[in-house]
Amino acid sequence: MSDTRLLASNGRVAHESLRGQVEAARFSAGEWQRVTAPAAPILDAPGGARQREMLLGAEFCVLEERGGSCFGFARDDGYVGYVSAAALGHAPAPTHRIGAIRSYAKHVPDLKDTGPHLLLSRGARLAITGTSGAWAACTIAGQQMYLPHAHLRPIDRHDDDPATVAEAYLGTPYLWGGNSALGIDCSGLVQAALHACAIACPGDSDQQQAALGQDLAPGSDYRRGDLLFWKGHVAMALDEARLIHANATHMAVVIEDIAEAIRRIEAAGEGPLVAHKRL
């Protein structure tokens, strides 16, 4: 395997599944931990650049911890990198996920409480331990907290239309390597939409182009949920004429006319549409 984003090895340690395939000082089965912060960036090196992001409750296989940084890979898509040890820990299996586009957790189950709170994104996963009126109780990073029960859905209840999920992120700020409703990039939006519908999806746009759907011939009609790829960019069709994507031109998730977006992107020197795929 040559894609280092999926190769669980850094020379010092490698996952035991890679015995005989890579050289490493030691091999390990790793230890599965969960994200205990609202979000945890996956970096390309300790203290390095954000590549992707995991949300509260996501699992990460820790192969090595050094200097407060954990090397390993995400369970959801196998993405390899470094995560702050402070953002990981042991937590019970989630029972619910956030279904609203954004939510929050506070220390007091009181609508009018003005104390500190945590902002949480759609897709965050939590183990609910009880209820207090309209509030659901859970533990986040060792602290008892409460969320509006109306923002939650059972962990096994999935959406059925990725395009509808993508539309929920309309207006979300563009953030390179972001995967949350507080900041998201093009491939993060597609991954969030597909994962919400229980469809496996890699993290980056080139991986998505290689792994998802069937190629359609140039000039094929666009249908809701189709994926459109440029070099380094991806969008999702909403119908025969419109698409939705997170992009750095608008610095947000926006809806555009498909033909206009294709012309604009090519005119900006970012190349032509390279693939049209149907899930």
Domains of the chain: 13-89 (2.30.30.40), 96-154 (2.30.30.40), 162-278 (3.90.1720.10)
Q: Are 249 and 234 in contact (CB under 8 A)?
A: no
User: What is the average per-residue pLDDT within 46-75?
Assistant: 98
pLDDT of 13 > 80? The answer is: yes
User: What is the average per-residue pLDDT within 116-141?
Assistant: 96
| 243-248 contacts at long range (C-beta below 8 A, 24 or more positions apart) | 244/163, 244/166, 244/167, 244/170, 244/189, 245/186, 245/189, 246/169, 246/172, 246/174, 246/184, 246/185, 246/186, 246/188, 246/189, 247/174, 247/186, 248/174, 248/176
pLDDT of residue 247: 98
pLDDT tens-place string over residues 24-51: 999 999 999 999 999 999 999 999 999 9
**Hey, what are 155's tokens?**
């962990």
pLDDT of 193 > 90? The answer is: yes
pLDDT of 83 > 80? The answer is: yes
Query: Pairing relation of β-strands 152-154 and 96-98?
Result: antiparallel
User: What is the average per-residue pLDDT within 173-202?
Assistant: 98
User: What is the average per-residue pLDDT within 8-20?
Assistant: 97
pLDDT of residue 201: 98
What CA–CA distance (Å, rounded) separates 29 from 15?
6
pTM: 0.96
What CA–CA distance (Å, rounded) separates 57 from 98?
11
Q: Are 244 and 261 in contact (CB under 8 A)?
A: no
pLDDT of residue 248: 96
pLDDT of residue 14: 98
pLDDT tens-place string over residues 206-265: 999 999 999 999 999 999 999 999 999 999 999 999 999 999 999 999 999 999 999 999
Confidence of residue 192 (pLDDT cuts 50, 70, 90): very high
User: What is the average per-residue pLDDT within 5-18?
Assistant: 97
User: What is the average per-residue pLDDT within 138-152?
Assistant: 96
Helix ranges, the chain (H) = 162-168, 186-196, 205-211, 258-267
pLDDT of 1 > 80? The answer is: no
pLDDT of residue 2: 78
Mean pLDDT of all residues in the chain? 97
Cα Rg, the chain, nearest whole Å: 20
